Amino acid sequence: MKTYKNVLNKKQKDFLDNIFKNQQHPFYLFNRPDNTSYFIHNAIRRQNPDLDNSALTPALRLLLSEITSKLNIKYTKIFRCAINISFYNGGLNRCETHDDHFFNYKQILIYLNDADGDTVLLNKKGTKELKRISPEAYKILITDKRLHYHFFPTKGIRKVLIYTID
C-alpha cells in the first residue's frame, strides 16, 4: 500500500473538479446493509465491468491510464470505477469493514477534496489497523485487496474516486 501526492496535473484536477459542477452527472443514494448511506456515480459497475455506464467513463478510463503509466502500474482490466460522496450519517461514524470484490484486485482511491473521514486499512483477518489515510484533495492511495473501512465526515462531504483493477 502506498500513497502519492502531486501526481495529477492541472488538466486532470480541473476535469475531476468539473464533475461536480453544473449537475451534469447523476449521483444515486445507496443504502448499505449497515444502515449507512452515501451517494454514488457508477462509471463502471462491478456487476458488468465491460459496459460503460456513464458519459464520464471514457475520460475516467483515460485518467486511470495516465496515472498508472506515470506510476508504472500495469493492468489489463478495470473491475469497477465509481465516485462516492459520503456525509455525516447520524450516530454511525463509519461504514462496515469490507473489501470490494471476492477475488484479488488492486484498488486505487483518488481523494477529491480535503475532508475528515479517514480510510482505515486492516490486516488480512480484519483485526488490526495497518494504516490510516486522511483524505486530501488529489492524494492517491494504491493497495492490493484488503479489508478496509472509512469514517464518515463530521462536517461537509468526502468525495473519492475509486478504481479496482487486476
Number of structural domains found in the chain:
1
Residue type, 38: Y
- Specify the residue for cell string 462496515: 96
Closest CA to 62 of 3, 21, 16, 2: 16
- For the question of whether the overall pTM of this predicted structure is more than 0.85, the answer is yes
Closest CA to 85 of 64, 108, 115: 115
Q: Band of the pLDDT at 33, cuts 50, 70, 90?
A: confident
- Residues 89-103: tens digit of each pLDDT: 887 899 999 999 999
What is the spatial distance between Cα 49 and Cα 46, in angstroms, rounded to a whole number?
Answer: 5
- Residues 83-136: tens digit of each pLDDT: 999 999 887 899 999 999 999 999 999 999 999 999 999 999 999 999 999 999
Closest CA to 18 of 56, 62, 51, 68: 56
Domain limits for position 146: 2-165
> What CATH number should be reported for the domain holding residue 158?
2.60.120.590
